[in-house]
Structure 1
Amino acid sequence: MRLDRFICESTELTRSLAKKAMHRGEVSVDGEVIKNAATQVNEHHRVTFQGEPLMLVGLRYVILHKPAGVECTTRRTLYPRAIDLIDLPMLERLQTVGRLDVDTTGLVLLSDDGQWSHRVTSPKRRCGKVYRVTLAEPLEGDALDAAVRDFAEGVLLEGEEKPTRPAELAMREPRVAELVLYEGKYHQVKRMFAAIGHHVEALHREAIGPLALGELAEGEWRELSAEEVAAF
């Protein structure tokens, strides 16, 4: 790996700032000041920046139980960010793998592995996302039968040119639905229920593919195991 890339991946420095630091003599490899950005290094070299040793962070895979009032963004906003709940270095590199609205709770995945994130979110992979949906009014009888059929066939949402992909709808209680989606359009769950005349009062994501929240309490997070990462 090039030295400038090594510095970028183990600090908050951009490529240009890393090169400037090298020109100032602030970077050493095995005790020798190096100013050539193209110098090749690996995990066996001791790289220091301003006298402090650097280590590659590596790829991270995180599951978070997102509370309401938290945004899935890396930008600073009026709301707390999901990444602010996580205690890991270089948080700004973590990207949400399928966002949740600020008022939606439940399972959020975060990673700095772009290829893995694409596998999780790509509709072609048919990675089901399970939602618990609380409705303002009961959905039952003929209306429920029609909704199950419409969701399975696909619903044409307002402003869209193509219907949604087939989704699976079942009722746990008269006002509590379970919905499984295989895609992630903007505000999709709320828009699908609005299309059949129902208002969503609360929304909670319980699972993504084989991964469920389990015993993870609201606001808590953990890193995924190698087996869990490989399951996608």
Structure 2
Amino acid sequence: MTNSLERLQKIIAQSGITSRRKAEQMILDGKVKVNNKLVTELGTKAAPTDEIEVDGVPLQKEAPVYYMLYKPQGVISSLKDDKNRKIVTDFLEGVTERVFPIGRLDYNTSGIILLTNDGEFANLLMHPKHEVNKVYVAKVSGIPEKSELTILRKGIKVENDLLRVVSYKILSTDKTKNVSIIELTLNEGKNRHIRRMMEQIGFPVKKLKRERYGVLTLQGLKSGEARPLTPHEVKQMRHIASEIVK
């Protein structure tokens, strides 16, 4: 046994095809082979040179990659779209690895979205027990009083979802145009979270951008541009997600 051996479920998760938990279940269900031998024990380890099959499909061996994209408005956070609209991977020129987005940003929301082929990293950041802060800036109709926003921290029930923020800050107001710019910090991300919440309290969102994700910011990127994360940034994001547990 060498130091290069890793648990089978971790190798499968890192390939990006599924989460570690689902990989464990696939092993138990007899859907995984190593060097053409069926494996059903979770403690099994494999080497980089081993041939691994998952549900009859050979596992592709790719080095893990991590990218940050400044997603423009009007782009789908998916790998395909039946309406032939632009998708996030359209902006990753020259990237040959099979990357996928970590989580989602609404079609009309711009800002930071991460893409990777490392399923374990993706699941670490998306798992509900890890509260990685995400900072948004919203342009809303109306000029709320601070007292009207306090409910955002307590939480608002909308269509069976409890929607809330970690913090909020009114950045500016324009009485002539009747609009406000508000910074909102979340550590979870339900579908159309901010838009539904703000509409519920009477200040519908006109424009929304995610400006920070953990330690990552949009600094140096223009809309539609992407860059690889540095090894230090990947390490920081892992550390943040691992340290913050509900």
TM-score past 0.5 threshold: yes
Could you say what secondary structure the match of 2:125 adopts? helix
Higher Rg of the two aligned structures: 1
User: Residues 123-202 of structure 1: matches in 2 within 5 Å?
Assistant: 123-139=128-144, 141=145, 144-147=146-149, 149-157=150-158, 159-160=159-160, 162-174=161-173, 175-202=180-207
Structure 1 pair 68/165, CA: closer, same or farther in 2 (3 Å)?
Answer: closer
Secondary structure in structure 2 of the residue aligned to 1:123: coil
Q: Deviations over 1:46-95 (max 9, x none)?
A: xxxxxxxxx943111110001111111111333111101102004xx322
Distance 2:142 2:155 in 1: 22
Tell me the SS of whatever aligns to 1:156.
strand
Unaligned runs of 5+ in 2: 6-10, 16-34, 38-45, 50-59, 174-179, 238-246
Aligned residues: 184
Alignment pair present for 1:80 and 2:86: yes
Contact between 1:152 and 1:168, CA under 8 Å: does it hold in 2?
yes
Query: 2:68 and 2:141 mapped to 1: Cα distance?
Result: 29
Amino acid of the residue matched to residue 105 of structure 1?
A: S
User: Counterpart of 2:129 in 1: which secondary structure?
Assistant: helix
Partner Cα separation in structure 2 for residue 138 and residue 123 of structure 1: 32
**Letter paired with 1:125:** H
Determine the C-alpha separation between the residues in 2 that align with 1:116 and 1:216.
23
User: Which residue in the other structure is 2:216 paired with?
Assistant: 211
Separation in structure 2 between the aligned mates of residue 152 and residue 62 of structure 1, nearest angstrom = 31
Q: TM-score, normalised by structure 2?
A: 0.67
Give 1:173 deviation, angstroms: 0.7
SS of alignment partner, residue 57 of structure 1? coil
The structure where strand makes up a greater share of residues is 2
Contact 1:131/1:207, CA 8 A, preserved across alignment: yes
Deviations 1:110-148 (Å, cap 9, x if unpaired)? 112122112222332211110010012222x3xx2231x
- How far the C-alpha of 1:167 sits from its partner, in A, is 2.5
Deviations 1:166-209, CA, capped at 9 Å, x for gaps: 43111101210000011010000100101111110000000111
Work out whether residues 132 and 205 of structure 1, in 8 Å CA contact, stay in contact via their aligned partners in 2.
yes
Partner of 1:106: 111
Moved segments of 4+, more than 6 Å? none
In structure 2, how many angstroms separate the alpha carbons of the residues matched to 1:61 and 1:115? 12
| 1:118 and 2:138 correspond | no
